[in-house]
Amino acid sequence: DTGVSQDPRHKITKRGQNVTFRCDPISEHNRLYWYRQTLGQGPEFLTYFQNEAQLEKSRLLSDRFSAERPKGSFSTLEIQRTEQGDSAMYLCASSLETTYYGYTFGSGTRLTVV
């Protein structure tokens, strides 16, 4: 297990199209998070799963965004009807229940909406 994997690394899409990103967390981690980061800013929290249950969602997560984590393993983040303002790096992280070891982030999916 080499860490958190995200796919694709880069995605360019036209405004109005739907996109889906995948995250494979560290297998022992039951917690999974999605964050969004724009240039010059720190990551912003989007949503959190414990196993397959989505327990927290940010006000930033509009109804065009949906996330799933079937069977408590990998997760997907879908953005419908993309807008130029959705252009950002989408980061996935996973963790154990303790925060002592922090969260392990993936390398992210860079989304560009043209």
Chain contacts with another protein (rule: CB under 8 A): 4, 31, 33, 35, 40-45, 48, 55-56, 58, 91, 93, 99-108, 110
Nearest residue to 84 (alpha-carbon basis) of 58, 112, 59, 110: 112
Rounded to a whole number of angstroms, the minimum distance from the CB of residue 96 to another protein is 12
Residue 37 beta carbon to another protein: minimum distance, rounded to whole angstroms: 8
**Cβ closer to another protein: 74 or 80?**
74
CA 88/CA 70 separation, integer angstroms: 25
Residue 83: which residues within 8 A CB-CB, separation 6 or more?
15, 64, 113
Shortest distance (Å) from residue 103 CB to another protein: 7
